[in-house]
Amino acid sequence: MSPEFIAALPKEARAEAERVFRPFAARRGSYVCYPDDPAKTLYYIAEGWVRLFQLGPDEEEITLTVVGSGEIFGEAALLPNETYGVFAEPLVDCELLSASREDLARLTSRFPEAQSAFVWLLSKRLRKAEERLRDLRFKEVLPRLAKSLLAAMKSGEEGLEVTLSHQDLAHLAGSTRETITKVLGELAMDDTIELGYRRILVLKPEALREVSL
């Protein structure tokens, strides 16, 4: 099934976009791109989570954002002679779609509707980045973590589950692993979640929604 932004295109543009975007598997523990790499490819996340980060003055990692299903990264490929400027690290095994800068240029020059689709995707990224900054400034860790759990949960064999690690959730929520582990323990004591080996079972999603506001 085509992603939403491709499926919404007119028939001819959709066929060309489906040809241009090719499946690409990115595995946890690898890097999709590095800051100094020439930006030659745009990536769309069909399934998974990818952390975008830079290194600070003392080589510390600074997470800029975490992008998930339905989002793009590597958007510097839409411009000529750019580098990515970030590390892109899959937090889980991801299913991506990738398209070269040359193919994207031809696609958008032939079909203005495709250009509008990329503007929509970029606007979506910008809105999410603004929301993340607002949350980091005005919300405590608990509501940020609750929001991250809700975004990451999916149906599993035992119910709604999250398969991200505590460190991955720290990246999503903009906190530290130690703090996230502490708050998860508090949520488990309230029977809102159940902690297990490499998975978190969400028992009360409505309770998470209430505290995420």
Average pLDDT rounded to a whole number, residues 119-138: 92
* Domains of the chain with bracketed CATH: 4-136 (2.60.120.10), 140-212 (1.10.10.10)
d(CA 128, CA 112): 25
> Does position 63 have pLDDT exceeding 80, yes or no?
yes
- What is the distance between the alpha carbons of residues 106 and 196, in angstroms, rounded to a whole number? 48
d(CA 184, CA 163): 14
Residue 2, pLDDT score: 78
**pLDDT at site 77:** 94
User: For residue 147, what pLDDT is reported?
Assistant: 96
pLDDT of residue 208: 96
Query: Over pLDDT 70: what percentage of the chain?
Result: 100
The 3-state secondary structure of 131-177, one letter per residue: HHHHHHHHCCHHHHHHHHHHHHCEEECCEEEECCCHHHHHHHHCCCH
- For position 1, what pLDDT does the model report? 64
Burial of 148 (0-12, 13-18, 19+ CB in 10 A): buried
- Please give the average per-residue pLDDT across 98-124, as a whole number: 94
Average pLDDT of the segment spanning 136-152: 96
Query: Which range is most confident: 5-14, 82-91, 126-135?
Result: 82-91
Average pLDDT over residues 196-205: 92
Mean pLDDT, rounded, of the chain:
94
127 band by pLDDT with thresholds 50, 70 and 90: very high
Interval 192-200 mean pLDDT: 92
Q: How far apart are CA 152 and CA 163, in angstroms?
A: 8
Instruction: Strand 49-55: give its sheet, edge to edge.
Output: 61-68, 49-55, 87-90
Q: What is the pLDDT of residue 166?
A: 96
Averaged pLDDT, 26-41: 96
Is it the case that residue 44 has pLDDT exceeding 70? Answer: yes
Strands (E), 34-190: 41-47, 49-55, 61-68, 72-73, 87-90, 94-100, 154-156, 159-162
Tell me the average pLDDT across 120-125. Answer: 92
What is the b/e burial string over 57-92, where b = at least 16 CB atoms within 10 angstroms of the residue's CB?
eeeeeebebbbbeebbbbbbbbeeeeebbbbbbbbb
Prediction pTM value? 0.90
Per-residue pLDDT, 197: 83
| Nearby residues of 197 by Cβ (< 8 Å), 6 or more positions away | none
Please, which pLDDT band fits residue 187 given cuts at 50, 70 and 90? very high
Compute the average pLDDT of residues 60-83.
Answer: 94
Residue 158 pLDDT: 86
